[in-house]
Structure 1
Amino acid sequence: MKLRVMTFNIHHGKGTDRRIDLPRIAEIIADHQCDVIGLNEVDCYFSKRSHYVDQIGWLAEALGMNHAYGHAISSPAKKRVEHKQYGNAILSRYPITFERNHLFQFPSILLENRSLLEAHIQLPSQSIHVWISHLSLNPWIHRKQINYILHHCLDHSSPTIVMGDWNMRPKSKAWKKVAYHFTDVCQANNPAMHYATFPSLRPRTQLDYIFVSRDLFVQSAEVIRSNPSASDHLPLLTTLSLHSH
């Protein structure tokens, strides 16, 4: 079975042209026939900056997909029932049978809190485990977050996908720690290629990654440049194949 998986930091739908435009995010996902998508920087009734929209609800409806959401930041709104939230999300063509949001337990008053969203997705033949996170730029906290993610994600017998905006460089110490346990789809596809995802208009560095367990076979991996103005990051897409149990 083939599975097309994308990770995309959507910058709350705000493009490099400073416009909030969720339809173009949906169009990129639809055009590339994605089955499972991990999204970072997703607003949910957050503020005027994203028109108080439940962005993952909107995208799921527009694409006819199932979704899971996990906030990194959540605070009561003054005049609304819904909390203002910002975080990670998963879209899936297949049923999501379980979801859980793990807030990292080492916030600092000076730094934005982060989280790890977990989902079990039921494919026709088996279940897979999908995780999405957005890691800190602070090196000390980044190390702790990597350890936290590995502690949780290595605990499962199902095929596993761990993705998101990792704010690290390929072949860095942090990257090596994750790549020891999981396959980096870009390296498996072609280690000589450069998979820069940021900044979107003139990409210089790779910040976004998809890691998979060894029971998933990487058929291809590419950075999608079809509409670079849709966000400040470019999406990363991989085609995986898995053997049915």
Structure 2
Amino acid sequence: MSATAEAPAPTNSRRDPRRRFVACLPWLLLVGVVIGNGADRTPADATVPIAWNGPAPVAGNGDILRIATFNIHGGRGADGRLDLERTTAQLGEFDVAWLQEVHGGGWTGGMDQAGELGQRLQIASAFLPTERRWWTDHFGNGLLTRLPVELVQRCPLPGTRGKAFRQAVLTEVTLQSRRVRILGVHVDRQDDRLRQLEIVSRMFLALQPPAILLGDLNTQPDDPALSALLAAPDVVDPLGGITAARGHIDWILARGLECRTIEYVTGDASDHPAVRAEFSLPSAR
């Protein structure tokens, strides 16, 4: 008598993937929350002490102060290629430079772009973040200096967009025993532009001269929002007579100083020009 083998109990193979998906769903949701949290942009803490890199600045002994401002566009030119060597070349010679659209070192712990530029130029540098992303200071401004800095005071500018966080940074250096106040800014180009521009204008006019305002104002010379500032009796606008700079949005303005030279340097390192100026005290001539 032969034994009959029992058939194995049928399984519902269609249900197994669903069960696996249900089991993995909490982990997928957790990963999504973590990624969403890391990708979200939040304002940087302006009270964190500033970390300087590079050699200690040396006190100047001349009668000229060389100032530069450059929106480096993250080191990328119109061709989309990242090349900080081009950025360095376009930035040129200066004593103090104010940079916009500077990337931080990121979660990998690498050096920020201000630090890389300072390293190439062998001068002191500081990354001044405005934005945190991926749990680190991600984006902001840079300060490069060959001169000792007496003060660096950061003031976040009000914003309503929930991103594109901006700040004004007040720096002081010495020129022939006189303190020169340098206000570096990067004004929003959308909803918050007019409000930030008004605040920055008031801050600059309230500074005791000699004083310099520089940066990307995202505002052209014929904008009525800028007319009151340009019409102030002691404000010097060196770019006003430069034909090549017509319609510009990157600025250097001064009070209580004479402009000796002004350069509006276009190139392939960024979608912005580098602007450089040499200033002296009125009595230095």
Q: TM-score, normalised by structure 2?
A: 0.70
User: Is the Cα–Cα contact under 8 Å of residues 102 and 141 in structure 2 kept in the other structure?
Assistant: yes
Distance in 1, matches of 2:175 and 2:134, equals 36
Most deviating of 115-124 and 95-104: 115-124
Could you say what secondary structure the match of 1:106 adopts? Answer: coil
Q: Which amino acid aligns with 1:149?
A: V
Superposed displacement of residue 174, structure 1:
2.0
Which residue of structure 1 aligns with residue 86 of structure 2?
Answer: 24
Residue correspondences, number: 220
- Tell me the equivalent position of 1:85: 138
Shift in CA distance, 180/70, structure 1 to aligned 2, threshold 3 Å: farther
Residues 124 and 94 of structure 1, relative CA distance in 2, 3 Å threshold = farther
Contact 2:258 2:279 in 1 (8 A): yes
**Residue of structure 1 aligned with 2:229, choices 164, 167, 178:** 178
Task: Report the Cα distance in structure 2 between the residues aligned to 1:24 and 1:59, rounded to whole angstroms.
Answer: 10
Q: Is the 2:65–2:175 Cα contact (8 Å) retained in structure 1?
A: no
Q: How many Å separate the matches in 2 of 1:133 and 1:157? A: 18
Aligned counterpart for 1:217 among listed residues 254, 258, 262: 258
Contact kept? 2:96, 2:143, Cα under 8 Å: yes
Q: Secondary structure at the match of 2:192?
A: helix
The aligned residue for residue 36 of structure 1 is 96
Over residues 56-99 of structure 1, what are the superposed CA-to-partner deviations in whole Å (9 max), with x where a residue is unaligned?
1121222122334322212452xxxxx23211222121011211
RMSD: 2.3
- Equivalent residue number for residue 130 of structure 2: 72
Q: Secondary structure at the match of 2:259?
A: strand
1:195 aligns with 2:245: yes
Give ranges in structure 2 of 5+ residues lacking alignment.
1-62
Mapped partners of 1:52, 1:222: distance in 2: 33
Matches within 5 A, 1:147-162: 147-162=198-213
| Secondary structure of 1:118's aligned partner | strand
Higher relative contact order, structure no. (Cα contacts within 8 Å, ≥ 6 residues apart): 1
Give the secondary-structure state (helix, strand or coil) at the position aligned to 1:87.
strand
Report the equivalent of 1:206.
248
Query: Whole-Å Cα distance in 2 between the matches of residues 15 and 69 of structure 1?
Result: 21
Aligned mates of 2:259, 2:175 — CA distance in 1: 18
Amino acid at match of 1:45: G
- Give structure 1 stretches of 5+ with no counterpart: 78-82, 197-204
Q: Runs ≥4 in structure 1, deviation > 6 angstroms?
A: none
Q: How many Å separate the matches in 1 of 2:124 and 2:75?
A: 19
Distance 1:121 1:73, change over 3 A: same
Residue type at the aligned position of 1:137: R
Question: Which has the larger helix fraction?
Answer: 2
Counterpart for residue 168 of structure 2: 116
- In the superposition, the TM-score normalised over structure 1's length comes to 0.80
Percent identity, aligned pairs only? 25
Confirm or deny: 8 A CA contact 2:104 2:127 kept in the other structure: no
Question: In 2 relative to 1, CA 68–129 (structure 1 residues): closer, same or farther, beyond 3 Å?
Answer: farther
Tell me the CA shift for residue 121 of structure 1.
1.6
Aligned equivalents of 2:121, 2:283: Cα separation in 1: 26
Q: Which residue does the alignment assign to 1:54?
A: 112
* 1:242 to partner: Cα distance: 1.6
What is the CA-CA distance between 1:47 and the residue it aligns to?
Answer: 7.1
Q: Following the alignment from structure 2 to structure 1, what is the Cα–Cα distance between the partners of residues 133 and 225?
A: 31
| Contact preservation (8 Å) 2:183, 2:213 | yes
